Structure 1
Amino acid sequence: MPPLKEQIAVHVPPRASRTPAFENQPPASPHRGGHYAGIHPEDQPYQTRQPKKPASPAYDDIPDEPRTPSSVRRYPVTTAPKQRFRLNIGAFVLLALGTVLLAVVFALAIVEIISPALQNWHDTQTYGYPRTTHARTIAGHGDPAHPYSDYIGVNLKCSLYVVELGESGPGKQVPHLYYIAHFVGPNCDLIAITSITFADENGDGKVDMLIVANNTLYILYNDGTTFRQSSK
């Protein structure tokens, strides 16, 4: 039998592709839980992230300063210095002048616009349109059975008239028409006879007719049967 040749063992490192993936993992647990397919013992869980490093011991010995509650904190308040009030004479004069001018304009508006409008409204409510007023008295122009007479003052196209009507009935007393005055200008048709009164002005014992229109007094004198412009 021929002699055997000396055999020398040569260690051949395994290929990287054939290296099992589990060689880099920790050894098997004695609890037989294994390290594959998500199976881990309860006392050794598998951590995918590295734990944070503990804080440096140099800062651990420094105690934290106590924090003051927010309700007790005091914040510094900076106040602006007070400024003294200085009167501006020019602004005061302009303000006073503007106030006076505004008052004047308002007064002119009252006199020129508001007052005439109110007067026109009052006359329309009182005398209507055309402006008409009425009076009744015993002037001595009727009969004993019907002594009263009616007087109607009217503005017809800026002319003022007074109509006297007896109460004795038609045909027994003739109506009388008295011309008072004529006006011209804008809104002359709005002038009303504001009052018709009767009084003995010349002392003859007969009542005379007193007519007021546009703040003017007109007197018609009684002759016993009618009224005239003159007492003669």
Structure 2
Amino acid sequence: MVDHKTNGMLLEVDGIETCYGLSQVLFGLSLAIRPGEMVSLMGRNGMGKTTTIRSIMGLTQARAGTIRFSGQETRRLPSYRIAQLGIGLVPEGRQIFPNLTVTENLVAASTNRLGASDPWTLDKIHALFPRLAERGGNMGNQLSGGEQQMLAIGRALMTNPKLLILDEATEGLAPLIREEIWNCLSLLKSRGQSILVIDKNVGHLTRICDRHYIIERGRTVWSGTSDQLMAEPDLQHRYLGI
């Protein structure tokens, strides 16, 4: 029997199957992340990337397989308990609180439940994203898409997560804002933050991620390093449409 508390993995997803009603979306999908790694989840639209994230977070419960975080089985836990174990989510669509100010959005999420030695504070988030300091008194629904994404990342970091998950990290953002988000993620990685990211920008992903998983129709069809992915253009064309 494998001792999952000592095998070096922060997150292990093994053979999960997830359905929406009678429609099955994930078919035995597997992936894993080590502490301090930045890993991407790639694939065309509709192949199950967001459902994978929802399954990890307990928002849509997998009906089979195992999900372990920090050695603890989480598949049957409610989503709030999974978040409390140390997973911060930046969801697709951002889902910030529209009727709270930027500062209130950040402070509302603030917690150091796991006792981080150097926890995120409002000042640190402002240093990461100066625009959030400038817009602190604005309501969430008064922000641009890029500012909302910065706020969603800042809000997730204020929970001091062991693992940060971003679903469509730069989707629909202006080029300059995209660069700011990628620079932020690169900085977070350099500080040892574990990250799972979904995005379509293969160039940026291969520059800063350690490893990649490609999924097709709810199954893991390939995994490997950035060098391995860049060496296989046929793979990118087949599964990513590049």
Is the shorter-chain TM-score for this pair beyond 0.5, marking a shared fold? no
Greater RCO (Cα-Cα under 8 Å, separation 6 or more): 2
- Give TM-score, length-normalised by structure 2: 0.18
**Larger Rg over CA atoms:** 1
